[in-house]
Structure 1
Amino acid sequence: MVEGHRFWSHLPLLVQSSSKESVEYILQALWRTRKTGLDAADRSIIREMLNLSSESDLDPLLVCLRMLIRKSVYENISKDEIQKLFPLEVLPELQRLLTLLLQKFQREWREDVLKDQASVPRLKAMTWNKVNQSQDSADNVAVINLKLQDDQSISGEREVKFQLAKDTLETMLKSMYFIRDQMSNSDTTHNGHGQREDKEADSA
C-alpha cells in the first residue's frame, strides 16, 4: 500500500470531476510537470474540473496522485499490484478508473523516464580565472566555471565550478589530449573504411 495514508481521504474528490477525460487530464498534467510542479494555470484548470473552492483541498489530492504515478512508473508494477495500492476506503469504481488510466500511460511514461536517464548535459561555455589560495601562499589555482545545457533541470542549464592546481591541471590536459587523439583516430579509421568501400564499389 502506498505510504502517506492521510492523503487517501482526498482521493474521492476525483469523483467530482465531470468525466473520465478530466481525471485523465489531471494525471497527464502531473506527469508533464513532474520536474517543475504545476503552474498557476494548471492548478486553476484542475480546481475547476473538480469544483474545488479551496487550494487546501487540492494539494493533498495531488500528492496522493503523484505517489500513485511514481509507484506505477518507476516500479513498473502490474495491474493487480496497482489495485493493491488502494486501501479499502477508496471506492471500487475509483480504484478501477485509476488503475485503468495508470496502465494506459505506464509504458509511455516509462519510456519518458528512460529518455530522461539517457539525457547527458552538454557544455555551452567555459570561463576561468586565476586566484591565490591564501595570502601566505604563492601557489595559484585555476577556478573553472562550466555552463552546461541540462534538459533535466528546471532552467534548462546549470553551472559547475571547481578549482585546479597546476599539477592537477596538467594531468587533466594530458587526459583531454588523449581523448582528442582517440577521437581523431576513430574519425580517420571510419573515413578509411569509407574510402576503401568506395574504391571497391568503383572496381566492381
Structure 2
Amino acid sequence: MEATATALWGHNHLPLLARASSKESVEYILQALWRTRRTGLDAADRAVVRDMLQLASDAELDPLLVCLRILIRRCVHDNIGKDEVAKLFPEEVSPELQRLITLLLQKFQAEWQEDTAKDQASVAQPETTECASNQNQDTTEQPAAGAELRNGARSSAVEKELKVQLTKDTLDKMLKDMYSINNQVSTAGNADGHEEAAECS
C-alpha cells in the first residue's frame, strides 16, 4: 500500500501543504477543491492557494491539487475511515500533516457525501420530469389531435357542401339568364315581324 501511495503522489507533492501557515489555510484549500469539483479552481482561487503555500507557479501547484482531489474522492465515494486514509500517505508526509489532513477529511466527509447525493438526485430529477412531461404531452395531445381531425373532416364536408351549393346556384343563375335572353330575343323577333307586316300592308 505504501508503494502504491508513493507512486500515486509522485515527487513529494503532499508535503507542500506543510508550507501553509495554519490549519485554517489547509481547510480552506480542501473546501475550495470541493467547491470547484466540477469546474476546477479559477485563476483567483489558484492565486490564493499559491500565496498560502508560497508557490511560484501552477506547475508546482497542479500536482498537489491532483493528489488532494484523489484523497477527497476516496474519502467521499469509497467511504473510507481514518485508518484507511492514513495508509494512503507516503513516508514523505510528516505524521503531523497526515493527522491534520485525515481530521479535515473526516470532518467534511458526511457533508460532502450529502452534497454528492444531492448532485445525483438533481441529475436524475430532470430526466424523470422530462419523461412525465412527455407522457402528459402525449395524453393531452391525442384528444386534441382527434378533435383537429374531426374538425378537419367537418370543415372538408362543409366545404364540399358549399361548393355544391355554389355550383347549383351558378347553374340556376345561368339558366335564368339564358331563359331571360331567349325571351328577349323572341320578343324582339315578334316585334320585328309585326313591323314588317305593317309595312307590307
Q: TM-score, normalised by structure 1?
A: 0.59
Cα pair distance change 1:77/1:6, threshold 3 Å: closer
For structure 2, the residue ranges without an aligned partner over 5 or more in a row are 141-201
1:7–1:61 Cα contact (<8 Å) kept? no
Distance 1:35 1:110 in 2: 15
DSSP 3-state at the match of 2:12:
helix
Q: 2:59 aligns with which of 44, 56, 59?
A: 56
1:72 aligns with 2:31: no
Q: CA RMSD in A?
A: 2.5
Alignment correspondent of 1:176: 135
Which has the greater radius of gyration? 2
1:23 aligns with 2:26: yes
Distance 1:34 1:8 in 2: 24
For structure 1, the residue ranges without an aligned partner over 5 or more in a row are 124-147, 149-171, 182-204
1:8–1:64 Cα contact (<8 Å) kept? no
Distance 1:80 1:180 in 2: 56
Bigger proportion of residues as strand: 1
> With CA pairs under 8 Å and 6+ residues apart, which has the higher RCO, 1 or 2?
2
How much has 1:14 moved relative to structure 2?
Answer: 0.7
The equivalences for 1:1-204 within 5 A come to 1=1, 5-7=8-10, 9-119=12-122, 120=124, 122=126, 176=135, 180=139
Q: TM-score, normalised by structure 2?
A: 0.60
Runs (4 or more) in structure 1 with deviation over 6 Å come to: none
Bigger proportion of residues as helix: 2
Give the letter for the 1:176 counterpart: Q
